[in-house]
Amino acid sequence: MDANLKPEAPRPLELSIAKLEGAYEQMDRRMGTLETDLTQGLADVRAEIRSLRGEINNLRNLIFILFGALGVLISIYQFLG
């Protein structure tokens, strides 16, 4: 190789491809981060829904107990009255 020859400068197409590849890698990393955040967010929402369902079931059970007690009190009142 001749010492006077300079390395070939990248052509515009090669530069464009390199820029696109770099942009793709950045987008890929960002999409991965967004996917992780979304997955965690959905897991948090599911956990909150499970918790709320448990609270609703507890309230439903309490209401059944209270109505049952009310029925007993009404029966006693009618019996005594």
Q: What residues does each domain of the chain span?
A: 22-80
Which pLDDT band holds residue 3 (cuts at 50, 70, 90)?
Answer: low
pLDDT over 80 (residue 5): no
Report d(CA 66, CA 58) in Å as an integer: 12
Q: Give pLDDT tens digits for 18-38.
A: 999 999 999 999 999 999 999
Non-local CB neighbours of 10 within 8 Å, separated by 6+ positions: 18
**Cα separation, 67 vs 76, whole angstroms:** 14
Quickly state the pLDDT bin for 8 (edges 50, 70, 90).
confident
Question: Average pLDDT of 58-72?
Answer: 97
Cβ(18)–Cβ(10) below 8 Å:
yes
The rounded distance, in Å, linking the Cα atoms of 68 and 72 is 6
